[in-house]
Amino acid sequence: MHRAMLIQLALGLLIGGGLGAMMGYFGKCTSGACPLTANPYRGGFIGAMIGGMLAFSGVSSRANPEGKEEGYAAVQIENAADFDRLVLKAGHPVMVDFYSNSCPPCRRLAPTIEELAEEYQGRAVVAKVNVDRVPDLARQYGIQGIPAVLFFDKGSETQRLVGLRARGAYTEVLDGLLG
């Protein structure tokens, strides 16, 4: 886990646990049937669980001006102008992952995309487009299923892989473009 994620989790657990313990202490539920207000220990435990879950529900993606998210190697594309500049006008082959945070296969593919971005750094551009944030770009390229990984060379699409694939499928296409 990244350090920021650990800090986010710790804060969620502390705040949730603290609020739950306070509700348990001041709630005065004498029957024991109220999970948060039965006693401070139970309230703290349940509050910490809820706080931990909520800590990750509001995760946001903040890109820096160069287009890379802090701590990540893949370029995050936030709009059509970024796509034009970073993909269509790139001097290297480009691999673009169209994804959504709510898509389990997309989340499983994310570490592979990051590994490929680090491995091909300087030889190819590895970019990501969140279809929830840039739906017009997804429509423009006919994205109907995600994850969809499109490969570009000299500004035009050369190949498309839809669905979760093995790492080798992506490296094979990138190596072919670099070849």
Are the beta carbons of 25 and 38 closer than 8 angstroms?
no
Collect all residues with Cβ–Cβ distance below 8 Å to 45 and sequence separation of at least 6.
17, 20
Total count of residues recorded for the chain: 179
| In the block, residue with structure tokens 């936030």 | 78
C-alpha to C-alpha distance for 97 and 116, rounded to whole angstroms: 11
103 is catalytic: yes
> What's the distance, Cα to Cα, between the start and end of the chain in Å?
34
Catalytic residue among 63, 90, 103, 110: 103
Catalytic residue among 38, 75, 106, 131: 106
C-alpha to C-alpha distance for 149 and 73, rounded to whole angstroms: 16
C-alpha to C-alpha distance for 101 and 111, rounded to whole angstroms: 13
Q: Just list the catalytic residues.
A: 103, 106
